[in-house]
Amino acid sequence: MMTAIFSGCIAPLAPDPFYPREWGEITRLGDQCKLIEGSYVNDGEWRGEDNQTKNVSLSSILFIPSNSKKISLFTNTRRTDSHGDSFINLKVVPDNNQTSDYNIECFCIDQNIICPGLNQSYGFAPVGFASGGNNVYFSIGKDNALLGRVDDVRLGLIFVVPIHITKKAWVRFKHADQ
């Protein structure tokens, strides 16, 4: 079912011309994306399409309030379709504090995690409307670092003119046990 819905729209997370090659090879997350489970340093690196680098936190990418040192991720599969793709809950636990965990509805498609519509917003005006949000794609590197691509997608309609803007960036967070 998900494969049919996302056919042509979602591809495995793979390097594009903006991917920082020094971050190494991207690997898949295995069945039901269980290989993402583990703890990652909250402070990471952001690399935009303009090749600008800045510091970024994993908690800010996931839009959860936290200034913790590390973020632990766990998956809970809600349902798997006939193609092996899954609806999952990504459980996010700052600093191993189980009392302040967050659940994000995501998909495990082709052994990559896709969390669509994070920080979704909408706006309306007499001349049109706009919406925006982030789609975040996760996998891991050979060194067990969490690798992701953040697509900041903005859509709108002014009078009858459609507007579509997508800005992409790559993010990397070291595994906390390294």
Average pLDDT, the chain: 84
- pLDDT at residue 8 greater than cutoff 50: no
Instruction: Give the confidence band of 167 by pLDDT, cuts at 50, 70, 90.
Output: confident
pLDDT of res. 6: 38
- CA separation for the pair 139, 129 (Å, rounded): 34
Summarised one tens digit per residue, pLDDT across range 61-93 is 998 888 899 999 999 999 988 887 889 999 999
- CA separation for the pair 175, 48 (Å, rounded): 21
Percent of the chain with pLDDT over 90: 47
Q: Mean pLDDT lowest for which of 21-30, 123-132, 150-159?
A: 123-132
pTM of the model: 0.82
Mean pLDDT of 161-178: 85
- pLDDT at residue 7 greater than cutoff 50: no
Q: How many CA atoms lie within 13 A of 64 on its CB side?
A: 20
Q: Is the dihedral of CA 72, 168, 43, 11 positive or negative?
A: positive
Q: Which of 47, 48, 69, 49 is nearest to 59 (CA)?
A: 69
β-bridge pairing 43-48 and 128-141: unpaired
Mean pLDDT of 131-158: 85
